[in-house]
Amino acid sequence: MADEQAQLKADADAYFRSLAGLKYPQALVTAFPRIANTLFEFKNNKLKLRAYFDSLIEDTRGGRHGFPFVVLMNLQDLREVMLGDVKRFGMDDTTKWVS
């Protein structure tokens, strides 16, 4: 499931390293650099950024495998810092597809 051909862009790497109050999201950038690049691309458009975070977490298509827990926590931390959201990802019988 990892992005085997994608590489993290240097600008995205620098941006994630510069975010105050955030531990560098190593698991995300290593396993899913394409997702990290997209988060960086949307950083100045809060509507697109919020929709993208939601699309990563909510299984609206069915059959998704989900993210490793550490990647999910990286996404949660990024959401909080990039959007100012403290919305926690909820897990119930409809959303517990996280591996």
What gap in Å lies between CA 50 and CA 63, rounded to an integer? 22
> Would you place residue 23 in the very low, low, confident or very high pLDDT band (cuts 50, 70, 90)?
very high
pLDDT digits (tens, 9 = 90+) for 27-82: 999 999 999 999 999 999 999 999 999 999 887 767 677 899 999 999 999 999 99
Of the candidates 61, 65, 89, 96, the one whose C-alpha atom is nearest the C-alpha of residue 75 is 89
pLDDT digits (tens, 9 = 90+) for 70-88: 999 999 999 999 998 655 5
Three-class DSSP category at 62: coil
Q: What is this structure's pTM?
A: 0.78
